[in-house]
Amino acid sequence: MAAASERNVRAESKQAAGVNSPADATPDTSGKDFIRARIERDRAAGRYGGRVETRFPPEPNGYLHVGHVKAIVLNFGLADEYRGVTHLRFDDTNPLTEETGYVESIKQDIHWIGYDWGDRIHFASDYFERLYDWAVFLIRKGVAYVCHLTEEQIREYRGTVKQPGRPSPWRDRPVEESLREFERMRRGEYADGEATLRAKIDIAAPNMKMRDPLMYRVRHASHHNTGDRWCIYPMYDWAHGQSDAIEGITHSLCTLEFENNRELYDWFTEQLELVDPPKQYEFARLNLNYTVMSKRKLLEMIRNGIVSGWDDPRLPTIRGMRRRGYTPEALRTFVERVGVSKANSIVDVGMLEWAIREDLNYRAPRRMAVLDPLKVTITNYPEGESELLDAVNNPEDESAGTREVPFSRELFIERADFMEDPPRKFYRLAPGREVRLRYAYFLTCDEVVKNEAGEIAELRCTYDPATRGGDAPDGRKPKATLHWVSAAHAISGEVRLYDRLFQVENPLAARYRDDFMQTLNPDSLQVLRDARLEPSLAEMEPGEICQFERKGYFCMDPDTEPDAPVFNRTVTLRDTWARIQKKRK
């Protein structure tokens, strides 16, 4: 068995490298999650020669999402911690839903998250021949049989949780007959649904998964990897554990919904008489509120044009999050913070946003951009003149230095930063009031100019030349500091603001189950086409992230045209959402 000997060689070389040194024999497992505690116990006992080998097993039927990030970080992270390795295995056992395009995108997304599988890239379909031989072995052993019940009959015969099942009429057919029939299945002599291979376990077992589960079904369909070579395809339960075994996986980590499959996982490796078989451990999936993660649901939204594609910045896909400006570092921090547990829960998306802010706060340069412009004319500033003012690039990082920002007689400020008749707690600009313009001067509003429709068209203001740089010699301090851009120097751009895709925490809750899309947030995307940006933003590259002062972190969209920058808001600066929630309570 080539794989087994290769495994031994690897196990030996690891030992030689000191992985299994005596110092590891009495590990301190305190404070470790249950998976790490288990690994340390296995290593202390010398199991698998101290080896830790994990795998990430995506089904190539869609793009990866933030839930997968958790599985990726867990599997690759464990291998890093215990000087083991991680395999990338495409679980491509279903010819109907899989596409090669997804294989490439999955590889790229894992690389982007920051991990590499080296030469350990595998496809479950590479093992079809081996799985077939193993199935024959089990038939010979008398623990698998070919059955001709229809799908519906199988379900009916299986019974319910309360009722034991009834045996299939083919359950006790002679071994020779099953061997022959299995061969005929492979040769294509049966149509879809006419024959299955089933494990002969216990039709009355309390665990429904053990009631003679299917190992193979007939599917006359082309497979992305094996073409038309096969017309029978292994079921997940039969393929997964055996693929783990072939590759020498030690700790096979999956999500909680596979808890009941574990008994079957062990049954197969035991019947195959494998030495040192891999073991399955289940952890809680990552769930986030205000979104959905299932690939099927994501695809449904894409097909219905609710979002623009797998990389729509509102989606929790790696592609979408990347386009929105989320960083791999922040995503890794986030899933590590969530941790590994045995109890399913829904994580507040606010926690993800917190991790993004934490990361970007240190690395994103500050810039000024006015998203919804209102014109300001400074009547006491000389016409036709301008000057350059120093602006700090990142107050969190002195090494980021400063840049020069042009200032002139005509500026834009944010429309929402002015109120003609301000309520008590509004400290920003209002008639007769003085505010500070960031890095520039103090500004006082003298006059409001309106258009024929009665809308505010322009503010006429005066500035105090003695306050250059933002400080007054007499020490007076305005209550508000506004961002601004010089009208003549600003570049125009488009800004996209994103909000939660759904209005409710759990769109898949029972009461919406029929139609999760009824809970969509109609305002999840707001496009501002007339933003004015400080000129230095012309030098930014697509994919780069900066902070627009007071407005949030923004990522230049990868599809930006050179003369028409588009910015996606990654996240707001403060957690307004959490504050709103608190107020409600």
**Site track for ligand ATP across 447-476, x = CB under 6 A:** ------------------------------
Give Cα separations from 440 to 391, 406, 418, 443, 466 (angstroms): 9, 10, 18, 9, 10
Closest CB to ligand ATP among residues 292, 389? 292
In the complex, the smallest distance separating the C-beta of residue 78 from Mg ion, rounded to whole angstroms, is: 21
In the complex, the smallest distance separating the C-beta of residue 352 from ligand ATP, rounded to whole angstroms, is: 13
Q: Which of 217, 295, 322, 403 is catalytic?
A: 295
# of chain residues touching Mg ion (CB under 5 A): 1
Q: Which span (289-297, 315-323, 372-380, 481-489) binds ligand ATP, by CB under 6 A?
A: 289-297
SS3 for 103-167, per residue? HHHHHHHHHHHCCCCCCCEEEHHHHHHHHHHHHHHHHHCCCEEEECCCHHHHHHHCCCCCCCCCC
Which residue in 571, 66, 461 sits closest to 292, CA to CA? 66
DSSP string covering 192-235: TTS-EEEE-S-TT-SSGGGSS-EEEEE----BTTTBTS-SEEE-
**Site track for Mg ion across 46-85, x = CB under 5 A:** -------------x--------------------------
Task: Say if CB 488 and CB 386 are below 8 A apart.
Answer: yes
Task: Say if CB 418 and CB 431 are below 8 A apart.
Answer: no
Asked if 24 is part of the footprint of Mg ion (rule: CB under 5 A), the reply reads: no
Asked if 59 is part of the footprint of ligand ATP (rule: CB under 6 A), the reply reads: yes
| Cβ neighbour number for residue 41 with a 10 Å cutoff | 12
The DSSP call for residue 60 is: S
Q: Is 98 a catalytic residue?
A: no
In the complex, the smallest distance separating the C-beta of residue 558 from ligand ATP, rounded to whole angstroms, is: 24
Q: From the list Mg ion, ligand ATP, none, which binds 286 (C-beta under 5 to 8 Å, kind-based)?
A: ligand ATP
Asked if 445 is part of the footprint of ligand ATP (rule: CB under 6 A), the reply reads: no
Asked if 255 is part of the footprint of Mg ion (rule: CB under 5 A), the reply reads: no
Closest CB to ligand ATP among residues 72, 185? 72
In the complex, the smallest distance separating the C-beta of residue 254 from Mg ion, rounded to whole angstroms, is: 10
Q: Which of 58, 241, 313, 316 binds ligand ATP (CB under 6 A)?
A: 58
Q: From the list Mg ion, ligand ATP, none, which binds 300 (C-beta under 5 to 8 Å, kind-based)?
A: none
# of chain residues touching ligand ATP (CB under 6 A): 14
Q: Which of 211, 217, 251, 295 binds ligand ATP (CB under 6 A)?
A: 295
Q: Is 285 a catalytic residue?
A: yes
Q: Which span (66-74, 94-102, 197-205, 359-367) binds ligand ATP, by CB under 6 A?
A: 66-74
Which residue in 140, 120, 110, 119 sits closest to 244, CA to CA? 120
Token pair for 250: 């030690």
Asked if 222 is part of the footprint of ligand ATP (rule: CB under 6 A), the reply reads: no
Alpha-carbon Rg for the chain in angstroms: 31
The residue number with the shortest CB distance to ligand ATP is 67
Q: Is 59 a catalytic residue?
A: yes
**445: amino acid identity, one letter:** C
What is residue 389's three-state secondary structure? strand
CA distance 519 to 511: 11
Q: Which span (44-52, 67-75, 180-188, 393-401) binds ligand ATP, by CB under 6 A?
A: 67-75
Q: Element (H or E) spanning 443, and its range?
A: strand 442-450
Closest CB to Mg ion among residues 59, 126? 59
Give Cα separations from 21 to 7, 50, 51, 119, 411 (angstroms): 19, 9, 12, 27, 69
Q: Which span (68-76, 139-147, 420-428, 546-554) binds ligand ATP, by CB under 6 A?
A: 68-76
Q: Which of 254, 360, 405, 495 binds ligand ATP (CB under 6 A)?
A: 254
Which residue in 557, 555, 538 sits closest to 546, CA to CA? 555
Q: Hey, which residues are catalytic here?
A: 59, 285, 295
Q: Give the footprint of Mg ion on this chain (CB under 5 A).
A: 59
Binding site for ligand ATP (CB under 6 A): 57-59, 67-68, 70-71, 254-255, 285-286, 293-295
